Chains A and B, each alone.
Chain A
Amino acid sequence: MKKTILKAKNIQKSYPGIKEDTKVLLGIDLEVEENETLAIMGKSGEGKSTLLHILGTLESYNSGSLEVCSYKTPSPSTLKIRNEKIGFVFQAYNLLEDYTALENVLMPAKIGRKPTQKGSEAYERALLLLDLVGLNKRAFFLTKLLSGGEKQRVAIARALMNNPDLILADEPSGNLDSTTSSLIHDLLLSTVKEMGKTLIVVTHDKELASSCDRTLLLKDGILCTS
C-alpha cells in the first residue's frame, strides 16, 4: 500500500475584507500518495496558488487540518518540513538573483546547516542536479544573467536539493514560451518520476495536466474531479 504524503481535511481559507471576508477555499479535502503526480487546474483567482501555499506551509488556513509527510501543520516542525520535505517551483522562479546557479541550488542545504564546501556531499549533489537539468555549464553564472527557461531549471534543481518527498510547482511555465514550457514540463515530470517524488502542480496547461496521474479542478472554493 502506498504511503500518503499529504492529507488535507476541510481546509478553509478566507481573507479579511472591509465589509465581509472574502472566502477563497470553502473546504478542501485532498489526499496525495507517494510518487503520485497531481495537477490542479482552475480559473485565475480561484485560489489555486493560495491552496498550493497552504499545502506548502507558506500560508496559514482558517480551519481544517493538514498533514504533510506525516507531520501535522502548523507545528514547531514547519521550518523543518519546508526545508527537508518540500521543494517549491514558482512561476516567477524566485531565485536569489545576486548568487550563482550553484549557490542557489546549495541554499536549501545551507539553510539546513549541512556542510556545503567544495567536495562535500551537498556540493556534489548540487552539481549533479545542475547536470540533470542540463545546466552544468552554467553552474557558476549569476542567475540574473540566465534566461527564463534556465532560471526555472535552476529552480527545479534547487527544489530537489534536500531530496524532498513532495514537489509543489505553481504554474512552472507561466512565464515561458510554449517551446520552453513543454521542455520544462518534460523535465519536471521526468525528474519527479525518475526520483520517485510526489508532485502537485498548479497549472493552466492542459497538456501538462494530462501528463499527470490525476487532475483536479478548483472551482468555487472546492476541489472536484475535472
Chain B
Amino acid sequence: MFELSIIKKYLLPKRKQLSVSLIGLMSIAVIALVVWLLLVFLSVTEGIEKQWVHKLTSLNGPLRITPKNAYYNSYYYKVDTLSVASDYKEKTIREKLAALNSDPYNPDEDAEIPPTWQRPEKNPDNSLIDPVKLAAATLNELKNKHPSLVYQDFELSGAMMRLQLTRDETTHETQSYLTQASYLASFADKNPYLASLILKPSPKDLNHLLYLTEKKNSSLLVDESESLVKNSKEDFRLALASLLDTIKITTLQPRFSHWKLPSAFIPEKESFQAVACLTNDKITHITINDQKEQNVQYLSSKEGKITKKDGQLFFENTLLPPTIPLLVNGKLLFKAALIPSSLEKASHLKDVKFAVETTLQNKPLKGSLSWDGLEIATANPENTFLEHMLLSQENGVLLAKSFQESGVKTGDTGYLAYSSATASSLQEQRIPICVAGFYDPGIMAVGNKCILVPNSITKTINSSSNSTHFDPTESNGILVWFKDLKEAEKIKAELIASFEEKGIAKYWKVSTYKEYDFAKDLMQQFQSDKYLFTMVGIIILIVACSNIISLLIILVNDKKKEIGILQSMGASSKSIALIFSASGIVMGVLGSMIGILGALLTLHNIDSVVKALSFIQGHSAFNAAFWGESLPSHLSESALVFILISTPLISLFAALIPALKACKTPTSSTLRSE
C-alpha cells in the first residue's frame, strides 16, 4: 500500500519540518501523559474497590438473607414464647435450624394462642411450614449448582467492651484500661474467607503473649489493678508449651541497647574492638560497639581490644574480673532455635533457652542464651495459632485492626458489659473475653467498632437485654459466601425463585453486597467517583487528541503539492483521506502505547512512587485506613480496554477534519508552476 509509505514519511520527525515535528512529538507526549494518568488512576481505584469489596464480602458474605417483619410476626416465630418446650423464649435462626420440632406448641401444656396472632401456615400434610429449615434446604440444593457456596447464620448485638492492658515496661509493670462501645458480630467459623482477613500476629503481640504466660488473671470481670497475679509453675509451663507449639521463633533481639553479653559468648582467642569505661582509673564496664552503631563517648574511657585467653577475658593486657559486665551497644539479631529440653524445668521465662547465632563486628558468635533481656524479632505462627488463641481462653474474640492503634495486643483480657432488665432494675452483666487476634474490617462505616465474638455471646446478650436491641430484621440472618462475586445477582434470583416455590419468599429478604445498608452509600460514592474521573479523563483525552487536528492541518497545508501530485497519478480522495486519518490514529496509538508502558512501570513501582509523593508532601500521601497498606499495582483490564478503544477513536475523529480538507485539495491549481 503506497499510503503506508507516505504515512511513514509524514510521521518521521525531520529537521526541515521542525515545527511540524515538534507539534507532533508534543501531541504524542500529551496523549501519553493523559493515558498514563488515566490508567494509573483507574487501575488504583479499581484495585482499591476490589480490595474493599473483597474485605466486605469476606466478612459479611456477598449475599445476606435476613428475616422480614412477616417472619417476626408469624406464628412460627412467636410460638416459642408460649411453648414450654422452648422455655418461653424466642429462638434465633441457629436454634430454629437445630430445633427438632418446627411447631413446639402443645395445647395440653401451653397457654392458649392469642386470637390476634396470625394463623399458622401449614403444609398439605398439616405440618407447619418451617421457613428456616426450608431456606437451609434451598441453600443446600444450590450447593449442587454452585459448589463453592457456603452459608452460616449470623447474629449482631452491642455491648460495652472494657479491656485491661497490662504492659511490661522497662522497669515496672503498668496497667491501663480501654473502654469502648462496640458492635458484636457472631464469629462465622464456616466462612471460608475469614482467614484472609485475620492479621498475622506481630512480634509485639507474640512478646506480649510470652510475657502473659507468667501471669494469671484472678478475675476477668472485676476492675482491679491487682487482678493479674503470678501463674503457678505448672500452669506457666503448660501455657508456655502450648504457645510455643503454635509459633516458631526464628530470630531474637535484645530488648534494649547496651545488652549484657555473657562472657561465654566470646570465642577463645578472638578479639573485639571495645571501650573500657573507667571510674578512678578502674574499669567499671566494657562496651563493645556493633559496627552498625555509632560509638558512644564516655567521660573517661579507653579504647582497646578485648580478647579471651584460656577462658579469661583481657582488655588489652589487663585481666578482667568476671564481675565486669560486657555491654553490646547496638541491636544484635540472633538466629534462634528453641532448646525444647529447657522448657521441661522452666519456672520462669528466664529459664527458657535458645541456641543462637549472630555476628558482632563481623565475627560469628554462637552459643545458647536464656530469655533474659531478649524479645522476639521474627516468628512464624503455625496454622493452629488462631485456633489455639480462640480455644485456650474463654471467649476468644477478634478485634478490628484499629484497636491495635489504641494499644491493644493479642492476649489482652477484659469483659463485655450489657444491661439486663430485672423485675425492679436494669442490671449490668459482664462476659469475660480475651483478644485472640485482629482482623481487617475494610472501610465499613462501623467496621472499626466491630468485634467478632462467639455465637454464644451474641445469643446471650440479645436474649437477655432489651437495651441493645437492633432492628430485629437486621440483627439475625444467614450469610452466604461463594467464589465468584459476579454470580451474586444470579444466585439471589435463584434463591428468591426457590423461596417463592417453597412459599417462604415473604419471610426472607435476600440482598447482595451492593445493597447492604452499611456499604451502599460508600459503594455508590466509589462508583460515582470513578465515573466522574472517567468523564474528566475522556475530556482531557479529547483535548489531548485535538492537538492532532492542528498538527494535521499544518501538515495538509504543507503537503498540498504532494497531494496534487498523487491525485494526478490517480490516487483517490479515499487514499488521501486515509493517509491523514491513519496518521492521526498512529499518533494516538503511539501516545497510548507510551502511556500504557509508563503506567505499567508506575504500577510496578507504585510503592516507590507513593514514598516519593509522601516525601514531597511531608506526610503520608495515602491514608492506610482508606487505601490499605499498599496501593494496588495491578493494571486494570477494563481501563486498558477503554484506553485501547477510545484513544484511536478520538484520534480518528480528530484527524477526520484535516483528512477531509486534504481530499478536497484542488488538484489542478497545486500542480501549476509558480
The total of Cβ contacts below 8 Å across the A-B interface reads 64
Task: Tell me, rounded to whole Å, the shortest Cβ–Cβ distance linking B122 to chain A.
Answer: 83
* The one of A59, A82, A90 that contacts B570, using a Cβ cutoff of 8 Å: A82
Say whether B673 contacts A171, CB under 8 Å. Answer: yes
Does B565 sit within 8 A of A, measured CB to CB? yes
Say whether B668 contacts A94, CB under 8 Å. Answer: no
Does A123 sit within 8 A of B, measured CB to CB? no
Residues of A within 8 A of B572 (CB): 79
Does B562 sit within 8 A of A, measured CB to CB? yes
Bound complex: CA of A98 vs CA of B575, how far in Å? 19
> CB-CB contacts of A59-97 with B at 8 A, as 1s and 0s?
100000000000000000001111110001011101110
Interface size on B, residues (CB 8 A): 21
Say whether B673 contacts A107, CB under 8 Å. Answer: no
> CB-CB contacts of B547-575 with A at 8 A, as 1s and 0s?
00000000000000110111111111001
Say whether B569 contacts A82, CB under 8 Å. Answer: yes
Q: Considering the complex, give the chain B residue whose CB is closest to the CB of A79.
A: B570
Residues of A within 8 A of B575 (CB): 111
- Chain B 1-25 residues near chain A, CB threshold 8 A: 2, 5, 9
Residues of B within 8 A of A174 (CB): 673
Contact A110-B668, Cβ < 8 Å, known A83-B569, A94-B568: no
Q: Considering the complex, give the chain B residue whose CB is closest to the CB of A52.
A: B668
Residues of A within 8 A of B674 (CB): 92
Bound complex: CA of A46 vs CA of B570, how far in Å? 27
Residues of A within 8 A of B9 (CB): 98-99
Contact A58-B568, Cβ < 8 Å, known A49-B672, A91-B673, A94-B671: yes
Say whether A53 contacts B2, CB under 8 Å. Answer: no
Does B667 sit within 8 A of A, measured CB to CB? yes
Contact A58-B671, Cβ < 8 Å, known A95-B565, A111-B2: yes
Bound complex: CA of A56 vs CA of B570, how far in Å? 11
- Chain B 205-229 residues near chain A, CB threshold 8 A: none
Bound complex: CA of A72 vs CA of B63, how far in Å? 75
Most buried by A among B564, B569, B671: B569
Bound complex: CA of A10 vs CA of B566, how far in Å? 29
Q: Considering the complex, give the chain B residue whose CB is closest to the CB of A94.
A: B565
Bound complex: CA of A107 vs CA of B6, how far in Å? 11
- Chain B 643-671 residues near chain A, CB threshold 8 A: 667-668, 671
Contact A111-B673, Cβ < 8 Å, known A59-B668, A94-B564, A98-B9: no
Does A175 sit within 8 A of B, measured CB to CB? yes
Contact A96-B565, Cβ < 8 Å, known A49-B672, A58-B668, A90-B673: yes
Say whether A80 contacts B570, CB under 8 Å. Answer: yes
Does A108 sit within 8 A of B, measured CB to CB? yes
Q: Considering the complex, give the chain B residue whose CB is closest to the CB of A175.
A: B673
Q: Considering the complex, give the chain A residue whose CB is closest to the CB of B12.
A: A98
Residues of A within 8 A of B673 (CB): 90-92, 170-171, 174-175
Bound complex: CA of A92 vs CA of B565, how far in Å? 11
Most buried by A among B5, B562, B575, B671: B671
Bound complex: CA of A98 vs CA of B5, how far in Å? 11
Residues of A within 8 A of B564 (CB): 94
Which B residues are within 8 Å of any A CB, using their own CB?
2, 5, 9, 561-562, 564-572, 575, 667-668, 671-674
Identify the 5 closest CB pairs spanning chains A and B, nearest first: A83-B570, A110-B2, A59-B668, A92-B673, A82-B570
21 pairs of residues in contact across A and B, judged by CB atoms under 8 Å: A50-B668, A58-B667, A58-B671, A59-B668, A79-B571, A80-B570, A83-B570, A88-B568, A88-B671, A92-B671, A92-B673, A94-B565, A96-B562, A98-B9, A99-B9, A103-B5, A107-B2, A108-B569, A111-B575, A171-B673, A174-B673
